[in-house]
Structure 1
């Protein structure tokens, strides 16, 4: 599917679970016709149970619910959790579930990493927030800093059709979007309240999100802020960041200073010298783990979504971002990032850069090229086509079915 820019949208920034979950759950509680949901992680914790409750209530009201969760990211949902939904007619789909091998998950690559909710084809949520308690600040020091957007307007139609096709919905209608395109959709007259839905897959849209980042950096005139949890992009994006800084654009990068996985910081540090030498300002967010995937450019361009700037998101995972042209939203997101920079970030100065030795340079080159070619290496492993597994409602026991038939017959006689 290819999409174009849509005008006349209403876009609200949602920060962390405290803002995100009430808006999503409230929308589902008001649903009258349909709910579409995709997520990487759905845990059976307080957040997952709250989602489960509003979905159960909606299904009992007759709302059509279709949801898909990733088989790697959500491996431990109980049978009771799932069957209580499917019994009420909910289409519950696992994306590429795989059995454990020696107690370990094997379906590591080509994950469904999108986080999308659409209610009544009227309001949509897109971003990086999963359905787990670790996105609430009350979770503690390991709570994740993250973002999503709530959107209303014409762009919701594009998001709806995309999710319907992704989960094999019976409602999906084929449209003219299906032609192949090798260029990102361009907006010749950027204005306000405009949005573009961009996704990444392993077929026709392998680098669409990356292309929009590259185009943004090429067009930047004043200021760019990128906040990305897992930052290890390819050479093209690193080069454009350097080029922007060297022609006078203020380029600021926010990465994890308190990472949820130590390897994340190790990988990012390999790039510090290359970026800082060209004038890119690098900051580490140190309050808690950063999970955001957001950026702003100048006074108008913004993006919020699920895509990191690393080999998994840029080359393997299924991702979705919203590209936004809107001055008011840009300012809202910019103000949020400026607050993070001033209160919770530490700038990587010369005295904090990795040592400039031949050993460090050699290590950086080897590790960089290994990680950048990792998707291709993963492709050499035994390949399979990711499959969708529809969870069917439980079969009623034969005795229970017979009792119901007999009761119906008795009722008919009387």
Structure 2
């Protein structure tokens, strides 16, 4: 295996990659792969809803566990907070192990674990096949839900990169799971021509790894940069790199939300529009449905697909995972798709439209922009907790009312389960 190291990870050659667009592609491929699993299924997700997609996932996981496959699913307690006891019991009774990331009690019915979420979306099958992207297990990722559907992406990969993804995913296993767990032997043979790097973001060792990969690629761009991202409010460095690229003649195109699932997000993104448009950046707002994707391409080879948005939560607080891929075929496929998305289902933003009312909005834009830019530092004043994982059991499907205060207490609780 030929690998080139850098400070944030290792580039691996000899991988195969397939782009999956929306839940229609993703769920079909994932469920079929789980159905063919022989030894192990590891899943991480921010959201699992008890709808027809969640129920379909439940069925394939139960079937896998019943035929002797080891199944571990890690879900975020904030994103996945309302599963019924019956739904959980059916899985745990069949042998599916479910972990809650950072379980916290509700305060007056409100969820309190707002920041530093497990936002990764990863699947690893038999340590040989992996999926990474931004798609959660919910029906709103299916196109047939109409205007409420979300536009999103993932990739299916094989090859040496799977070893890194597997190590990352097994690093998310809690002590109760590890007690009876032994790692599989990872198959690292080459399966294609794509070079890949896995970049993670956490609150310990890899705080800026994903952003650094973006910055490196943009700083060397010579032809085009295209970014399609749901929540766009990046760092000062990121914005300056986009401006610099546009100034030296690179075609910089942003495809952002025009039908946002959270209107506040669009307002934040628009705080950056005037500054970028003046430098020649082209901005499209996607209007067919809510854009939930987190993809980008640079020049003719570089692409990224993953869970990380370009906002303070993803770049400075959440746990995220992105694949960075050097493959001309994937780059061109993604380029053609995004080009069609912009042409057929988006509205281009111009300075003239933004100028209306600018005289009274300018002070608010300035203050809001700089407050939000420093928001991660403000949130960073609160303690950074360790990797808190608690097994989910029925009938108590949700965390107990008492807050887990430290990892020693967590381990004591898990030993008594």
The normalised TM-score by structure 1 is 0.88
Q: CA deviation at 1:192?
A: 4.3
CA distance in structure 2 between the partners assigned to 1:339 and 1:126 by the alignment? 23
Q: CA deviation at 1:362?
A: 1.9
Match in the other structure for 1:379 = 380
Match in the other structure for 2:63 = 57
Q: CA deviation at 1:23?
A: 0.2
Match in the other structure for 1:278 = 279
Match in the other structure for 2:197 = 196
CA distance in structure 2 between the partners assigned to 1:320 and 1:359 by the alignment? 40
Q: 1:2 to 1:249 in 2, by over 3 A?
A: closer
Q: CA deviation at 1:166?
A: 1.4
Counterpart of 1:102 (choices 105, 108, 122) is: 108
Q: CA deviation at 1:391?
A: 2.4
Counterpart of 1:40 (choices 31, 46, 66) is: 46
Deviations 1:105-138, CA, capped at 9 Å, x for gaps = 1111100000000111111000000000000011
Match of 1:166, SS state, is: coil
Contact kept? 2:134, 2:293, Cα under 8 Å: yes
**Is residue 391 from structure 1 mapped to residue 375 from structure 2 by the alignment?**
no
> Rg bigger for which structure?
1
Q: CA deviation at 1:356?
A: 7.2
Match of 1:87, SS state, is: helix
The normalised TM-score by structure 2 is 0.87
Match of 1:202, SS state, is: coil
Gaps of 5+ in 1: 174-190, 396-414
What's the Cα RMSD here?
Answer: 1.9
Q: 1:388 to 1:267 in 2, by over 3 A?
A: same
Q: 1:305 to 1:144 in 2, by over 3 A?
A: same
Spell out the pairing of 1:196-215 with structure 2 (5 A cutoff): 196-215=197-216
Match in the other structure for 2:85 = 79
How many residue pairs get aligned? The number is 379
Match of 2:113, SS state, is: coil
Contact kept? 1:272, 1:354, Cα under 8 Å: no
CA distance in structure 2 between the partners assigned to 1:287 and 1:319 by the alignment? 27
Contact kept? 1:121, 1:156, Cα under 8 Å: yes
Match of 1:6, SS state, is: strand
Q: CA deviation at 1:394?
A: 7.5
Q: CA deviation at 1:83?
A: 2.1
CA distance in structure 2 between the partners assigned to 1:84 and 1:57 by the alignment? 11
CA distance in structure 2 between the partners assigned to 1:359 and 1:192 by the alignment? 54
Deviations 1:138-191, CA, capped at 9 Å, x for gaps = 112110000000001111111011100112343359xxxxxxxxxxxxxxxxx9
Q: 1:394 to 1:44 in 2, by over 3 A?
A: closer
Match in the other structure for 1:68 = 74
CA distance in structure 2 between the partners assigned to 1:302 and 1:385 by the alignment? 31
**Is residue 263 from structure 1 mapped to residue 269 from structure 2 by the alignment?**
no
